[in-house]
Structure 1
Amino acid sequence: MWCPTTRFQEERTMALTAIIHFVGEDAIVGDLAEMPATTQQYIVVRNVRRKDGKMVPYVEPDAKAFIFPLARITFIELMGEVSEIATASNGATPAKGTTIFGFFREDENQS
């Protein structure tokens, strides 16, 4: 039986394509199920690949999902139309148009 609530939940589970930049490593592309919460210490990524579409050499071909700690991530680029499913931590929705979300971590060793 179809229900509006179920349809909304299905739309909310649409994957976000992201480019994930790691500290001292090449960036990879993957699918995030949702925006990471500010309290999370890791992200779960599916369908990982290099930016050129090839397989990431350090992952097993049979693996389906990957957990990456945020401590190893410099920033995350979200591709596509993010404004429809993204909300700020205070519940506000972003403005119409192109929205860029970033997560930047400063290196503690820099002076």
Structure 2
Amino acid sequence: MARKVILHLSGEDPVVGEIDNDPQPGDLFIKVSNLRKRDGKDVAGIAPGVQAVIYPWHRITFLELMPSEEERGSVIDFFRT
């Protein structure tokens, strides 16, 4: 099952995509499919019709793993009163 991620690349705006498996400590790269900007538009520099992009870890500043709909019920959101 694909998991939604927000990928923060060095010197670029964050992009949204999906990964098949959580990254492991020994991985040298990450394969991201369905890549798009956070507003849903196409990412500049990626050819039309590309299904997946492989990024080496040295290009990634950090990665946000978003909860799935099933996990959403157990996530505690912070709010101000």
User: Shorter-normalised TM-score: what interval?
Assistant: 0.7 to 0.9
How far apart are 1:98 and its partner, in Å?
2.8
Matches within 5 A, 1:15-94: 15-81=2-68
Structure (1/2) with the larger strand percentage: 2
Q: Given residue 44 of structure 1, which amino acid in structure 2 is its aligned partner?
A: K
TM-score of the pair, normalised by structure 1: 0.61
- Structure with max Cα Rg: 1
Q: Higher relative contact order by CA 8 Å / sep ≥ 6: 1 or 2?
A: 2
How far apart are 1:63 and its partner, in Å?
1.1
Unpaired runs of 5+ residues, structure 2, are: 77-81
Contact 1:17 1:29 survives alignment (8 Å): yes
Aligned residues: 75
Q: Equivalent pairs: percent with the same residue?
A: 41
Residues 46-98 of structure 1: CA deviation (Å, up to 9, x unaligned)? 000000000001101111111001101011001123996xxxxxxxxxxxx33
Unpaired runs of 5+ residues, structure 1, are: 1-13, 85-96, 100-111
TM-score of the pair, normalised by structure 2: 0.83
Q: Which runs of 4+ in 1 moved over 4 A?
A: none
RMSD: 2.1
